[in-house]
Structure 1
Amino acid sequence: MQHNIPTISIFIEPKHLEVLESDVWNEEPLPAKLVADHIPYEVGITYRGDHIRNFLKKSYRIDFGTFNGKFAGREIHLNAEYCDPSFIRNKLSFDFFQTIGSHSPDCKHVFIELNGEPMGIYLQLESVDEWFLQKRKLPYGPIFYATEYLANFSLLTPEHNPKTSLLSGYVRKLGEDEDDLDLEVLIYKINTISRKDFGEEITKYLDVKKYLLWLCGVVCTQNYDGFIHNYALYRNGEDGLFQMIPWDYDATWGRDWDGEIMEYNYVPIEGYNTLTARLLDVKEYRDQYRLLLEEILETSFTTAALEPKITNLYRQIRPYITLDPYKKMSIDLFDNERESILRFISDRNSYLQEHLKDLK
């Protein structure tokens, strides 16, 4: 068969594989060998994710450790995309964010073999880390992962209870202990700057233009969870301003995190979370957001712009569906999902166009 997507082979000794499978929440990398493009690498491997660790088809985090030449110190993620019948929602989302001018991880589809056995189609994702910054020539600065729904930029939990810490919901991926204070200051300022002064004062802590671009992306793709987690927060080391970077966008384009249909009008045009609400309360920023979104709805977020990309991804990965032991019986669902995504884009675009007036 003509291979259009690369194959990655992973080899784990039986004793280490037993440890991996016996405790899906183990975070300590286990030794393994990874072969890509005929080049072997000694790596560490663990499962990744939250609720997805309980799925039959696991997702993996690969740590290249201190060796392996140019890959030393790097990590990649191999996402099973188990609840997405199309396998393309994550990649389509990250490519879309890049199209509209917002930073997002690079990714590509691969076929995984584990100890010689096919594991199926995966999405290989770069980690949002020091190498992510270097690749984009971004200044070094701390990075925080929003790993829990508590990362809502509020002093209160979504249940309206006081948070035990301003850092609730975040894990520092890059930086030092003292960098935590900058994130605490950001969240404190978001919640305490007066309404009169907010528009001017917030620019000392946040790159507002980049946040509004991110907001356009999450509102178009309709990642309901993307407002309170499923993002990385990066503080630029030169200007000191925070930026948003999307993460885990398989629950998008008309599906939720369980793979169920999510209606096109589920997330309002204003989005939600405390920071978004406060920014859109400032007329200048609300107008900026409306103009940015209006342009995106006319150019990037249309069936005309996205259909060729969707069709190309489908052609690329369809031959591998029947080789995926976890998804080979779902070929009909896979085939029908292309039209489902295109219908969502059309309906979501019309919905957002109709509600642009709500931003005036």
Structure 2
Amino acid sequence: MLLHQGAAPSALPYRYVQYNPENNEIIHSETEDRPPLTEPTTLNEFYGRSWTRKQVKMFEHLPYQDHFNRTDSNLHPSDEIPTIHVISEEDNIYNLHGYYLQDIDIRVNMTYIRADRIKLFTNVRFKIGGRSSRLFTKLGYNLCFPKDQDLEGYRKLKLRAAASDPSYMREKLAYDMLYAAGMPATQASYVRLFINNRAIGLFVLVEKYDDTWLENEFHGGIGNKHGVLYEGKGAAKNRERYADLSYHGDDLAYYAESAYEMKEVDSEKEVSDLGDLVGLAKFIDSQAKMDGDLSNQSLETWHSQLDVYGFLTNMAFEFLHGSWDGYLQNTENYYLYKDPTTSRFVWIPWDLEYVMGSGPVSIPSLLEGNYSHFDGIAHKPLIKTLLNVPHFRQVFEQILRNLVTLLYDKSFPVIDSLEDFLRQDVEWDQAQIRMRDGLSFLPLGPHFVENVLQNSQGHANMPLPLSLDYWVAADYIIRINQHIPFQTAVEGNTTHVSLMGVKEWITQKSNNVKKYLFLEDPE
């Protein structure tokens, strides 16, 4: 039982305790009194927290038009941390975590607890999420609700563990900045997770992209049509083919064996191949072959094919955040949506944990202030071809200026507020025993042989980022198995070459970009 109910005098301060009912002995007590009630009942309060609701400063919305038509939803409260409790047979839970490299899903009952409401769900599909993230001892999870159930309008959700990020806020900040810039993407918030009455930890809740999400994000929640959704998944055929949007002829079979996947089919046309995506790659190739004959490059034609401003904004964020696991450096973690209302593609980013100075990569190279020197920009077909058009290059540089001055340079109050919001729950999370045995990225445990032999995650096809540094990777393995203080992870001076503090990254990257854009002539 996770939620308890009782009665006490309302005019007095109070605190919660854990006690043994057999002898009325107090086992543990909260350290601080809570103030007297002003209402007949309390909110659903979490043991050991000094607050139930707490305001967090948010980024101001930039003066741009939104590139989405998002339906209203209460999925992501900004002033509280809900609790999710899943229950299943113990054997199911054991097998799920014991065979963590295998594609296993189980059915669970789930309780969702907010400060002022409780929701119950049955027969929810629950599984471990991700590929490389399965190698951490703190695992992430996927939730899929039956068709007759949803959580605040969404049926597929992900619980992101933030296992590589001791600040717990990189991905949250990245999605919040996208939202402030009017870009379509999941929003993000925090939840506490329990499994069979066992505390698991603090997680980042994000939406999974599916037909319901497309309807909610682009069509105001109206479920009439949603278009085609493609995913770029890095590499395929033992890293011989990449999802870089390069053109290799019209044979769809070639692309079907590449690192692209159709995630959602057009609800009206029942499109079931990669034809539209190949058409985009062919268009990019034709524009690139003009070889500088800019008079023939029609801006209108570009805009009819792609939400160019949205794509350039996303690339500006990849550069600004030093993202090494996106399109520019790893040809993955992006989606392309063929919007049926405009018949053009919209860029949607995904999986933003590895940003702002964290990972097995050369962080000094990611701190580069001259975007033309950032690995990937000069070679990936779509961004390379667009930046060869002077107008789009000017637009890209103006976007960078705006993001630096209106978001990065004004981010510290947001970060300070979020740090205060998370502090108690981070301490709680770090005290929990993880569900997977062994060490992160050292896949040992009681079912080691079965996990290796029956690994379903396709690690052989995972791309290697352009900024990968094997010496830094060694430090990365060491530090993800060590304790990094929360404040240090936020402020800086971590003593690890694989990790900068969030504020430390923002300060240095902002200074480098402004030096190039404002004080130096482009090369």
TM-score by length of 1: 0.88
Structure 2 letter corresponding to 1:116:
N
Structure 2 letter corresponding to 1:187:
A
Instruction: Indicate which of 142, 152, 156 corresponds to 1:61.
Output: 142
Residue in 2 aligned with 1:252? 355
1:233 maps onto 2:336 in alignment:
yes
Instruction: Indicate which of 300, 305, 308 corresponds to 2:413.
Output: 308
Q: CA RMSD in A?
A: 2.6
State how far apart, in whole Å, the 2-side matches of 1:13 and 1:166 are.
39
Structure 1 letter corresponding to 2:350:
W
Q: Is the 8 A contact 2:369 2:516 kept in 1?
A: no
Specify the SS of the correspondent of 2:107: strand
CA shift digits 1:295-314 (9 cap, x unpaired): 22221121xx1112111221
Specify the SS of the correspondent of 1:230: strand
Deviation at 1:130, TM superposition (A): 2.4
Specify the SS of the correspondent of 1:189: helix
Structure 1 letter corresponding to 2:319:
V
Q: Is the 8 A contact 1:63 1:73 kept in 2?
A: no
Residue in 2 aligned with 1:39? 119
Q: Is the 8 A contact 2:179 2:187 kept in 1?
A: no
Q: Is the 8 A contact 1:94 1:246 kept in 2?
A: no
Residue in 2 aligned with 1:24? 100
State how far apart, in whole Å, the 1-side matches of 2:109 and 2:408 are.
41
State how far apart, in whole Å, the 2-side matches of 1:267 and 1:233 are.
28
1:12 maps onto 2:88 in alignment:
yes
Residue in 2 aligned with 1:346? 507
CA shift digits 1:236-290 (9 cap, x unpaired): 111111111111111111112x5x7723525851452221011001111001111
Sequence identity percentage: 21
Residue in 1 aligned with 2:211? 130
State how far apart, in whole Å, the 1-side matches of 2:371 and 2:326 are.
14
CA shift digits 1:52-99 (9 cap, x unpaired): 112111111100022226768710000111001111100100001111
Structure 2 letter corresponding to 1:99:
A
Q: Is the 8 A contact 2:310 2:346 kept in 1?
A: yes
Instruction: Indicate which of 380, 389, 399 corresponds to 1:292.
Output: 399
Q: Is the 8 A contact 1:141 1:174 kept in 2?
A: yes
Q: Is the 8 A contact 2:186 2:208 kept in 1?
A: yes
Q: Is the 8 A contact 1:66 1:72 kept in 2?
A: no
Specify the SS of the correspondent of 1:220: helix
Instruction: Indicate which of 224, 239, 263 corresponds to 1:173.
Output: 263
State how far apart, in whole Å, the 2-side matches of 1:143 and 1:292 are.
26
State how far apart, in whole Å, the 2-side matches of 1:222 and 1:317 are.
24
CA shift digits 1:164-221 (9 cap, x unpaired): 4267222222114445210111122212333234454433321111111112222211
Gap change, CA 1:167 and 1:202, over 3 Å in 2: farther
Specify the SS of the correspondent of 1:136: helix
State how far apart, in whole Å, the 1-side matches of 2:228 and 2:382 are.
20
Deviation at 1:16, TM superposition (A): 2.0
Deviation at 1:22, TM superposition (A): 4.1
Deviation at 1:341, TM superposition (A): 1.1
Structure 2 letter corresponding to 1:346:
T
Identify which range, 175-184 or 110-119, moves more after superposition. Answer: 175-184
Gap change, CA 1:167 and 1:93, over 3 Å in 2: farther
Residue in 1 aligned with 2:367? 265
Specify the SS of the correspondent of 1:128: coil
Q: Is the 8 A contact 1:167 1:183 kept in 2?
A: no
State how far apart, in whole Å, the 2-side matches of 1:85 and 1:355 are.
31
Structure 2 segments unaligned to the other structure (5+ residues): 1-47, 53-79, 220-224, 236-241, 435-480, 492-500
State how far apart, in whole Å, the 2-side matches of 1:216 and 1:57 are.
31
Structure 2 letter corresponding to 1:83:
S
Residue in 2 aligned with 1:159? none
Q: Is the 8 A contact 2:229 2:335 kept in 1?
A: yes
Instruction: Indicate which of 190, 197, 202 corresponds to 1:116.
Output: 197
Residue in 2 aligned with 1:206? 306
State how far apart, in whole Å, the 2-side matches of 1:73 and 1:289 are.
33
Structure 1 letter corresponding to 2:175:
F
Residue in 2 aligned with 1:160? none
Gap change, CA 1:199 and 1:59, over 3 Å in 2: farther
Residue in 1 aligned with 2:245? 153
State how far apart, in whole Å, the 2-side matches of 1:184 and 1:291 are.
30
State how far apart, in whole Å, the 1-side matches of 2:433 and 2:415 are.
22
Structure 1 letter corresponding to 2:509:
R
**Equivalent pairs, count:** 349
State how far apart, in whole Å, the 2-side matches of 1:70 and 1:39 are.
9
Deviation at 1:359, TM superposition (A): 5.3
For residues 83-102 of structure 1, the aligned pairs below 5 Å read 83-102=164-183
Structure 1 letter corresponding to 2:367:
N
Specify the SS of the correspondent of 2:485: helix
1:80 maps onto 2:161 in alignment:
yes
Structure 2 letter corresponding to 1:126:
E
Q: Is the 8 A contact 1:120 1:326 kept in 2?
A: no
State how far apart, in whole Å, the 1-side matches of 2:99 and 2:271 are.
30
Deviation at 1:135, TM superposition (A): 2.5
Structure 2 letter corresponding to 1:192:
S
Gap change, CA 1:137 and 1:283, over 3 Å in 2: same
Deviation at 1:223, TM superposition (A): 0.7
Q: Is the 8 A contact 2:104 2:128 kept in 1?
A: no
Structure 1 letter corresponding to 2:514:
Q
Q: Is the 8 A contact 2:368 2:512 kept in 1?
A: no
Gap change, CA 1:252 and 1:349, over 3 Å in 2: same
Identify which range, 111-120 or 350-359, moves more after superposition. Answer: 350-359
Deviation at 1:320, TM superposition (A): 1.5
Structure 1 letter corresponding to 2:426:
I
1:333 maps onto 2:423 in alignment:
no
Q: Is the 8 A contact 2:247 2:282 kept in 1?
A: yes
Residue in 1 aligned with 2:230? 144
Deviation at 1:326, TM superposition (A): 5.4
Gap change, CA 1:69 and 1:206, over 3 Å in 2: closer
State how far apart, in whole Å, the 2-side matches of 1:210 and 1:69 are.
29
Q: Is the 8 A contact 1:52 1:59 kept in 2?
A: yes
Instruction: Indicate which of 192, 214, 230 corresponds to 2:286.
Output: 192
State how far apart, in whole Å, the 1-side matches of 2:247 and 2:311 are.
20
Specify the SS of the correspondent of 1:40: strand
